[in-house]
């Protein structure tokens, strides 16, 4: 079907190859590129459509948002323009994250505004609950372990989403990862109001958000980063109960959501949810990392309580280096199990807090020595946060080849910002690992299994990736200058904005890979190189 974008068209559905709408005569090919297939939804300021780009090879699908205010008053139209412009700027700034839709285009046509972004195939969490039923406690914790690092990432870019809810979280079909969508309500400038308010307080001109999910301060036009955490808490209640906020009671005296009798969860997790759902911003969690830390400590609380009073002296711990794989696992064997658990927790907290002060983001979590309560799988995408800038800090944790493989074998997947310079890792299996912004200069990964690995913003200059399997690898903004990629499998890899100057792609398989012709002109190719179209030949 070819769908007409004219808001007043009486019959917008047309045959797929029609050039002009048969009902109103409007041109059906938007900007001479995009054919609208059908409507996806409509809000107060715009309508969303599924489209395909007929000018690109393969005619890929995309999502197009059309500015379509329900009211025509000048101030409403200006507000809609502001929101659309804000969404475009925000997606342009943070859209490189693999779990946020990428901004593809933003333009005006026929005095209307259009935003084009990546199409995410999959079902929303709202649809998932309706189809498969509610979540148990463990599944909600897995959900939190994946979505919290995404929030930490957008908050580190001074962005408040302001519309976290099940309908705005899609489980992507091809890899089952969660993707946060709909950035039309974001607040992307945070400023102090006066000395008496928090540094995170932001003032916006419009009360934006979904009633019931948005906390009081947001509806009062003063959203903060913790506002997203409240909405996330309400989302957790929905996942557990299947009930939206409007179907739950509120305490008339405090304004708090009454949910405790509706759920069956552990005492510790109930405490975490209560703190997420605090009406008072002051008593609520202030960052996503705080929630992750509390969830990670849960399995060890009992051991910690008894072990703290039973800790023997450790004479040989001073010389240990931070990030040394032998450090956290080499407590005195004479200590009791409870004592060793207590020491491990204290060491973990110290490292996390110290690194968080340096980076201000979630990469302090990469020093963990155990999988989280949600399991190793839940940590895979959690490491996809990291600093927005390039370069390597002198305090970046360092691992040797044996230590890295040991961590990986124990279920650890997050190695964001690590210093892994010149390691020998030939033919190792590191599939699904996260090396966001890591330093992998001159690393030897010859023949390694690197399927779905996140190398976003990583330094891979002069790395040996010959014959490596990089299928579906994420390499956006990675530095691959001088890297040896001969015979590497890069099918469906994401290479946009990667530096390929001098990279050797002779014999590499780039079928379905995302990269530009300009990037390829900077690399070495030959007749054995397989193009993104699947054909061999000289570029």
Query: Catalytic residue numbers?
Result: 163
Report whether 186 contacts 161 (CB < 8 A).
yes
Place of tokens 């690995």: 453
- Cα–Cα distances (Å) from 282 to 158, 198, 227, in that order, read 19, 9, 11
DSSP state of 311: P
DSSP state of 300: G
274: its two tokens: 């209560």
Residues linked to residue 530 through DSSP beta bridges, in sequence order: 509, 536
The CA R_g of the chain, rounded to the nearest whole Å, is 25
Phi, psi for residue 467 in degrees, rounded to 5: 60, 15
393: its two tokens: 């800090």
User: Which residues touch 365 (CB under 8 Å, ≥6 apart)?
Assistant: 289, 292, 352, 382, 383, 414
Phi, psi for residue 119 in degrees, rounded to 5: -90, 125
User: Does the annotation list 65 as a binding residue?
Assistant: yes
- Cα separation, 85 vs 28, in Å, equals 24
- Cα–Cα distances (Å) from 169 to 48, 64, 180, 454, 537, in that order, read 16, 18, 5, 21, 41
For strands 29-30 and 34-42, give the pairing.
Answer: antiparallel
- Cα separation, 433 vs 405, in Å, equals 11
- Cα separation, 384 vs 380, in Å, equals 8
HEC-encoded secondary structure of 180-220: ECCCCCCECCCCCCCCCCCCCCCCCCCCCCCECCECHHHHC
252: its two tokens: 């008339």
Report whether 374 contacts 149 (CB < 8 A).
no
- DSSP H helices, 134-287, are 137-156, 216-219, 225-241, 267-276
- DSSP H helices, 327-368, are 337-359
Report whether 520 contacts 499 (CB < 8 A).
no
Place of tokens 């001479």: 32
Binding-site residues from annotation for ATP = 65
Binding-site residues from annotation = 65
């Amino acid at each position: 079907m070819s769908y007409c974008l004219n808001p007043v068209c009486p019959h917008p559905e047309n045959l797929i190859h029609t050039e002009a709408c048969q009902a109103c005569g409007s041109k059906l090919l938007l900007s001479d590129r995009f054919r609208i297939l059908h409507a996806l939804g409509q809000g107060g300021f715009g309508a969303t459509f599924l489209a395909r780009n007929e000018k690109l090879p393969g005619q890929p699908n995309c999502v197009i948002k059309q500015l379509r205010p329900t009211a025509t008053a000048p101030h409403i139209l200006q507000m809609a323009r502001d929101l659309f412009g804000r969404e475009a700027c925000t997606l342009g700034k943070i859209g490189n994250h693999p779990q946020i839709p990428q901004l593809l285009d933003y333009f005006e046509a026929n005095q209307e505004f259009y935003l084009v972004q990546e199409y995410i195939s999959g079902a929303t969490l709202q649809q998932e609950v309706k189809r498969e039923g509610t979540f148990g406690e463990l599944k909600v914790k897995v959900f939190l372990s994946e979505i919290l690092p995404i929030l930490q990432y957008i908050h580190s870019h001074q962005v408040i989403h302001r519309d976290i809810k099940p309908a705005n979280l899609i489980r992507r079909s091809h890899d089952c990862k969660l993707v946060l969508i709909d950035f039309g309500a974001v607040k992307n400038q945070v400023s102090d109001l006066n000395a008496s308010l928090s540094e995170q307080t932001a003032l916006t001109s419009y009360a934006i958000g979904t009633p019931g999910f948005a906390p009081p301060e947001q509806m009062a036009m003063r959203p903060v980063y913790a506002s997203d955490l409240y909405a996330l808490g309400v989302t957790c209640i929905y996942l557990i109960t299947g009930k939206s906020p409007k179907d739950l009671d509120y305490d008339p005296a405090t304004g708090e959501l009454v949910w405790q009798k509706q759920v069956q969860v552990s005492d510790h997790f109930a405490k975490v949810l209560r703190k997420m759902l605090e009406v008072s911003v002051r008593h609520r969690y202030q960052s996503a990392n705080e929630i992750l830390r509390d969830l990670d400590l849960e399995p060890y609380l009992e051991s910690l309580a008894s072990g703290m009073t039973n800790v023997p002296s450790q004479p040989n711990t001073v010389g240990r280096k931070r990030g040394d794989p032998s450090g956290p696992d080499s407590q005195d064997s004479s200590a009791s199990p409870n004592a060793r658990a207590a020491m491990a927790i204290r060491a973990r907290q110290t490292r996390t807090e110290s690194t968080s002060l340096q980076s201000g983001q979630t990469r302090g979590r990469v020093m963990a020595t155990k999988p989280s309560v949600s399991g190793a799988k839940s940590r895979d995408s959690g490491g996809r946060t990291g600093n927005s800038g390039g370069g390597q800090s002198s305090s970046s944790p360092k691992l040797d080849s044996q230590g890295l493989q040991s961590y990986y074998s124990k279920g650890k997947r997050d190695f964001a910002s690590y210093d892994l310079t010149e390691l020998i890792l030939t033919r190792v299996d590191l599939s699904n690992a996260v090396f966001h912004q890591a330093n992998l200069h001159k690393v030897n990964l010859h023949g390694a299994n690197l399927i779905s690995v996140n190398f976003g913003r990583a330094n891979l200059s002069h790395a040996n990736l010959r014959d490596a399997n990089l299928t579906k690898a994420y390499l956006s903004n990675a530095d691959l200058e001088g890297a040896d990629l001969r015979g590497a499998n890069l099918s469906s890899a994401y290479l946009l904005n990667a530096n390929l100057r001098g990279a050797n792609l002779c014999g590499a398989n780039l079928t379905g890979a995302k990269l530009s012709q300009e990037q390829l002109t900077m690399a070495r190719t030959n007749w054995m190189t397989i193009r993104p179209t699947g054909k061999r030949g000289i570029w």
